[in-house]
Chain A
Amino acid sequence: MRRACLALLVPVALLAPACSFSDGSASAGPSGPSPPGSVVAAPSPSLALRVPLPSGFPVPSGAEPLAPPDDDPGLIGRWSTNLPGPSAYDFYVEALPAAGFPIVAVYPGGEAAVIRFTVSGGATWQVVMRAGANGGVAIEVRLDRP
């Protein structure tokens, strides 16, 4: 049975292992009512509910995809790259409109930058670039947020 998973506003570490997307196979969580006093596992966002990356979305050459964390449903994709920060930023300033994703606003910065852009249908998303491990840049594509 497919289990709907919702994020709860509690530290994940305090909870039993989160349930995972199920297409009918056994899930990780309990299948019956919880005994009184026990902590209910915090279900995590189903991978099927995560917004897919549009076809043709630009990603710098050589960027390594990273698994998005379960507790961030707004995150659409993420990568690490050895590109220096300004190169990653310049890449997206050029590549986004060229790929059909008009830029709404740019927010360059010291150790972080955000570019807001629109996707088909008019929704606004963000590319977030931050200093990553080993001197590279961590790139995230996510739903728009303050």
Chain B
Amino acid sequence: MTPLAHRGSGAAALGLALLLLTAGTALAADDYTLPFYDPGVTLSYGVDRDRTLGRQLDWTGHVWNDGVPHPGRVYDQHSGVDYPMALRSEVAAARDGTVIDVEGGYGTSQFGNFGNFVLLQHADGRRTLYYHLAGASDGGIGVAVGDKVVAGQMIGRSGCSGICYGAHLHFEMLVWNPGAAAWKPADPLAERRWTTWPGRVPFDAAYVRENNSGTEVMSQGQTITHWVEFRNTGGRTWRSASSVGRIGLATWSPAAHASAFAASDWPSSWVATYLDAASVAPDGVGRFTFGLRGSPAPGSYRETFNLVSQSVRWFDHARLGGFYVPILVSNLPSCGAATSAEMGGSVVKGLIHPMAPVC
């Protein structure tokens, strides 16, 4: 079904019947995350769960009987959740799904009864709608019908197309109502549909610690082990299994550059390592252990790293504290301590490798 009704923004155009309210459900690990990347965004208006004109039931359960907009809560007959964001802000899939409809033919800020959107179908039977998007010619639509998307994947850019008072993203969750034989809006906030409460952006991290927060000193040809820990402050569980979305630590500035310090254990010239653990849930701490080889000529260097959800999204490097490792390649030979070669040519994850003293 194409959401022809959604080509008119707002509940009045959609002509929706009474919403089906569901009791609050337990937060699920594979549930929904916020449909954008900036953790600073907060909602303008949530869903009006009371379809009586002039009476509003907001996401907190409060009832308003005045029909006027209530910032941060609701406006009358609203069918989704509005998130303010600048034009052309990146929009993310809230959950794994399939693209079943798109519209990108309207201008980014073209006011009228119809606007640009992406519609996804999810494995739990629900649909999500991302509305008021920028025009396709303006980068507003990043997917095509039939595409499989993963949670957190960028699917388009926000705009102000359709009936839109100020640039924002209208995010709508839909459930099939067999009685009405129609898709009806659900309230993801009232139902606690996010993976965490409150909902979070899909990918975010905070630096915790590392085995050496100072300068790593190594001789030419020597490999040392370095590890760093980050807290998962986003909404998606981190995983290390080989698949789209596995979380890795990779070179940055510029992104994915071939590192001069790549050790033999690196999966590639620019990916230092993947998450040590099989998975790290939101709020958990994940460790990333990797080798650094003193390959360049002696001197002082800095190698910058960022987290990446493979083939999906780089993290916001600034929120990782701009993580980098200062490196000093010494022109003196190493002596005494084991190097990776003496340990059989591999770096043992999780084992703090003694730094080779320069003698």
Contacts and interface: CB of A to CB of B under 8 A. Distances in A.
Interface in A100-146: 105-114, 116, 126, 128-131, 137, 146
Given A85-B163, A109-B166, 4 more contacts: A87-B111, A89-B165, A110-B82, A130-B69
A114 B10 contact: no
A108 B165 contact: yes
Contacts of A109: 44-45, 69, 75, 78, 82, 165-166, 168
Interface string B61-86: 00000001111110111101010100
Interface class of chain B by DSSP? loop
A124 B69 CA distance: 16
Contacts of A114: 44, 69, 71
B247 to A, nearest CB: 34
B69 A110 contact: no
A110 B71 contact: no
Contacts of B165: 85-86, 88-89, 108-113, 129, 137
A20 B69 CA distance: 29
A30 interface: no
Contacts of B68: 128, 130
Given A86-B111, A86-B166, A111 B10 contact: yes
Interface of B: 9-10, 12, 44-45, 68-73, 75-78, 80, 82, 84, 109, 111, 132, 160, 162-168, 170
Contacts, number: 92
Contacts of A108: 44, 82, 84, 164-168
B71 A85 contact: no
Contact of B69 (A84, A93, A107): A107
Nearest to A85: B165
13 contacts: A85-B163, A107-B45, A107-B72, A107-B82, A109-B44, A110-B164, A110-B170, A111-B10, A112-B76, A112-B165, A128-B68, A131-B10, A131-B163
A23 interface: no
A110 B84 contact: no
A137 B165 CA distance: 10
Interface of A: 84-90, 93, 105-114, 116, 126, 128-131, 137, 146
Contacts of A106: 84, 166
A106 B84 CA distance: 8
B87 to A, nearest CB: 11
Given A106-B84, A108-B84, A109-B82, A86 B164 contact: yes
Nearest to A144: B71
A116 B163 CA distance: 21
Contacts of A146: 70-71, 73
Contacts of B70: 146
Given A107-B71, A146-B70, A112 B164 contact: no
B168 to A, nearest CB: 4
Contacts of A88: 165
Interface centre among B68, B69, B75, B165, by most chain A C-beta atoms within 10 angstroms, is: B165
Contact of B75 (A87, A112, A137): A112
B71 A86 contact: no
Closest 3 CB pairs of A and B: A108-B166, A113-B165, A85-B165
Given A106-B84, A128-B68, A130-B69, A111 B166 contact: no
Given A85-B164, A88-B165, A107-B45, A112 B73 contact: no
A69 to B, nearest CB: 12
A113 to B, nearest CB: 4
Interface centre among A86, A109, A114, A137, by most chain B C-beta atoms within 10 angstroms, is: A109
Given A84-B111, A85-B165, A86-B111, A113 B160 contact: no
A128 B84 CA distance: 16
Contacts of A128: 68-69
B336 to A, nearest CB: 62
A108 B45 CA distance: 8
A111 B75 contact: yes
B301 to A, nearest CB: 45
B71 A111 contact: no
A89 B12 contact: no
Contacts of B69: 107, 109, 112-114, 128, 130
A87 B111 CA distance: 9
Nearest to B69: A112
Nearest to B82: A109
A87 B167 CA distance: 11
Nearest to B168: A108
Nearest to A116: B71
